[in-house]
């Protein structure tokens, strides 16, 4: 394993610690709920859904977190302001977990994050996300609302290489970097999503996550889930290929020091948590020889009993 020379920032979001040297804290696992075509949603515009099934899914993620020692966050996705606010109100009642305020539409995200601040959920809400298409109006709105935690998406449409992704963060002569944009928006707790395009690109995203920590000391991670689910021929590799490869793709990120992983549909918690917990335990065990001592409930102590 390895230790970053750059001082690593650790953010506490509603009791969940994200960041730090590899082995110090376990990977934070983020499951998505109410996403597009989620079967528990009956009306995506009005935010109507099966509350019992939603609560069961959230409870199962919490149970997997308790069993493994990996902290958890919810990725709450909505396509309209009405729906996203309803989803957040429900989530805030049934769990104390932090959550991503997520929508493909900036106006929906802004409306929902403003609601979070107004009703006292600011410490649990994480704006998702700021990307290369961010407008001045969105930055100004975030500052006015008083948003403290956000994700920035390190994707560069004109240069998808590692170099392009790093440049979209740090900036260039032609464009202000997203790290500066986030600072201007008043963001104090910043998570960097290094953007996955397809299954093979997970390697590039993992290396970018490593470099983000190495150069900026910021918590980093990404979302392999969509790319893995889009790999249509995976099942041709055998009856166990789909679950094993999906679990391995997510666990792989922890080896390069990723602080968080968005693992996609929350129903897959039972597949992802054990794989990532095992990898975290391996990293945590080795980190003790480098002067970094993980503390319970780290997966090292949850799933193993080390000497």
pLDDT tens, residue by residue, 81-122: 999 999 999 999 999 999 999 999 999 999 999 999 999 999
Q: For tokens 């602080």, name the residue.
A: 259
- CA–CA dist 36, 20 (Å, integer): 33
- CA–CA dist 173, 274 (Å, integer): 45
pLDDT on residue 258? 97
- Residue 245: pLDDT band with limits 50, 70, 90: very high
- CA–CA dist 100, 243 (Å, integer): 25
pLDDT tens, residue by residue, 220-238: 999 999 999 999 999 999 9
- Distances 31 to 174, 300, 303 between C-alpha atoms, Å: 36, 22, 21
Q: Which of 99-113, 163-177, 293-307 has the lowest mean pLDDT?
A: 293-307
Closest CA to 225 of 269, 259, 290, 257: 269
Mean pLDDT within 24-53: 98
pLDDT tens, residue by residue, 68-77: 999 999 999 9
Mean pLDDT of the chain: 96
Question: How long is the chain?
Answer: 307
pLDDT on residue 149? 98
Write out the H or E segment, with its range, that includes residue 118.
helix 106-118
b/e code 163-201 from CB counts within 10 Å (16+ = b): eebbbbbeeeeeeebbbebbeebebebbbbbbbbeebeb
**In the beta sheet, which residues pair with residue 257?**
none
| Residue 307 scores a pLDDT above 80 | no
pLDDT tens, residue by residue, 177-207: 999 999 999 999 999 999 999 999 999 999 9
Q: What is the dihedral of CA 125, 276, 59, 99, to 10 degrees?
A: 10
pLDDT tens, residue by residue, 281-298: 999 999 999 999 998 999
Mean pLDDT within 275-286: 96
All domains in the chain, ordered by first residue: 10-300 (3.20.20.20)
pLDDT tens, residue by residue, 115-157: 999 999 999 999 999 999 999 999 999 999 999 999 999 999 9
């Amino acid at each position: 394993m390895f230790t970053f020379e750059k001082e690593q920032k650790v953010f506490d979001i509603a009791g969940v610690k994200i960041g730090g040297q590899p082995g110090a804290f376990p990977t934070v696992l983020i499951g998505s709920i109410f996403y597009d075509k989620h079967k528990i949603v009956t009306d995506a515009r009005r935010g109507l859904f099966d509350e019992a099934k939603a609560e069961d899914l959230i409870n199962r993620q919490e149970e997997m977190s308790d069993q493994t020692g990996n902290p958890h966050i919810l990725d709450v996705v909505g396509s309209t302001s009405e729906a996203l606010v309803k989803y957040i109100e429900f989530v805030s009642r049934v769990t104390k977990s932090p959550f991503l305020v997520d929508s493909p539409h900036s106006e929906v995200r802004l409306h929902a994050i403003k609601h979070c601040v107004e009703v006292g959920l600011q410490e649990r809400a994480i704006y998702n996300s700021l990307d290369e298409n961010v407008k001045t109006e969105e930055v100004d709105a975030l500052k006015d609302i008083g948003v403290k935690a956000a994700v920035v998406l390190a994707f560069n449409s004109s240069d998808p290489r590692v170099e392009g992704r790093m440049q979209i963060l740090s900036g260039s002569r032609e464009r202000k970097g997203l790290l500066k944009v986030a600072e201007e928006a008043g963001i104090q707790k910043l998570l960097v999503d290094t953007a996955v395009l397809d299954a093979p690109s997970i390697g590039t995203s993992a290396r970018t996550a490593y470099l983000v920590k190495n150069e900026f000391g910021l918590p980093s991670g990404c979302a392999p889930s969509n790319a893995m689910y889009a790999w249509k021929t995976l099942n041709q590799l055998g009856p166990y290929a789909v679950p094993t490869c999906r679990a391995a793709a997510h666990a792989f990120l922890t080896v390069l020091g990723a602080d968080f992983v968005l693992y996609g549909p929350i129903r897959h918690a039972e597949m992802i948590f054990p794989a990532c917990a095992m990898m975290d335990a391996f990293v945590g065990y080795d980190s003790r020889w480098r002067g970094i001592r993980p503390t319970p409930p780290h997966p090292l102590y949850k799933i193993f009993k080390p000497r």
